[in-house]
Structure 1
Amino acid sequence: MNAGFKTKQAEFAAYIRDPDTYPVPADVDPRRMAMYRELFFNNIDSFVSSNFPVMRTILNDQQWQSLTRDFFARHRCRTPHFSEIAEEFLEYLQSERQSDHDFPFLLELAHYEWVEMALSIAKDTPVFGEAAFVDDVFNQTIALSPLAWPLVYQYPVERIGPDYLPQSAPEQATYLIVYRDRDDEVHFMQTTPITYHLLLLIEQQGGIGGEASLWALAAELADRIDPQSLMQFGQQTLRELADKGVIIPAVAD
């Protein structure tokens, strides 16, 4: 590949990414370049739109085009796989997006929408517990399924849509569990701060007894909740989470 071709290739790519900044490459028909530009951009725009449908509905056409064209021009994707472009878009919003006009919840909403796709294509294959495990989860060694993600957002992202566009975060954060079940269906479940912290504790341990996980949580929250009340609440919670496949049997090392 000679230097002239590399130069022409760089000019070609620069114009396609950002035609407002870079000129049409010399000796190339502007009409053809316009076709290439729209073809490349429309592919990216369509993919981002399909992966972030709520975001697309709350932005008008001008706002959406401005956002996706900025992503197309500014961000350098590190993957050739279309299935990973949504993650690249999330990284762009987190690290490169510069606009004072965006909704304050935009990044959290994008993450919320990305999670569903990420879990749907995740390659983990956890072994879910059978009925006996669920019934006796209090006495079992447990782990958090790699297909279950406890999440916390400052905004109620599950409610955001054209009729609800909060301009400031409420006092209470939103706690969610997103998980893929035995039938490979992705579910979103609202949860409590206590259950969220229980799942983080189980995840950090990598293998802990069901009863031990509750006592460990009780020790952390001793100044906020009665240990016996937590144990009673916790046993039922563990069974429900095990039944859904959020909690699974720990695999021995």
Structure 2
Amino acid sequence: MTPTVAIIGGTGLTTLDTLRTAHRETLSTPYGEPSSPAIHGELGGRAVVFLARHGQHHTLPPHKINYRANLWALHRLGVEQVVAVAAVGGIRADMAPGVLAFPDQIVDYTWGRHCTFFEDNLSHVTHIDFTEPYCLELRERLIQAARELGLEARESCTYAAMPGPRLETAAEIRRLERDGCDIVGMTGMPEAALARELGMRYAACAVVANWAAGKVAGTISMAEIESNLAGSMDKVKALLAQVIPTLVPL
């Protein structure tokens, strides 16, 4: 079966043990090597391909991820819909660690990344509409699945995409909050825009791993982030198992 659905796993989800694996496929692209082999398998009776955004051993920092190669490879495999899982920091008061969030807007603060397929050897300049950066229908499927499972989730929020790999300063978080951002991460862009350029439906499941800088006293530790993510991944896997069977080919 052609895998029309892909899951991109972020920090905390470099493997998906609920996926009944069929085979691995290493792909090359005009843009270089993807982050990891494509893992073909089955989830809830649906053919799915899984790709680890940060690599199989979580060795690729956000600014070194080859987003174009990742999305181009999935598109080449026949993927039409992408569920992207990502760890984020919570800015808004109800974005506590452990909460799932389904962003509907994004603000891009990244720089220096290859952010488009439309830049060389063009017959005409191409602009995509990005008014709604996430697919409304796919977001609704994720939201409905979370409701059915009784998961604590935030159904509307704005994602701030920061360059990384360092975490933000407290002053930067105050700025993001003034800008209307509710969660902060490092991989949301250009991934969402590249998917749109390729005509793929794309939605994100953000997992709040920590309070953003300055939101609580003290420093942010990787041990804290990893602990919070470990406690949340069972919820993410349950959500994926619930939603994937509902995603019919386009």
- Shorter-normalised TM-score: what interval? under 0.3
Q: Which has the higher strand share?
A: 2
Greater RCO, 1 or 2 (C-alpha within 8 Å, sep 6+)? 2
Q: Which has the higher helix share?
A: 1
Q: Which has the larger radius of gyration?
A: 1
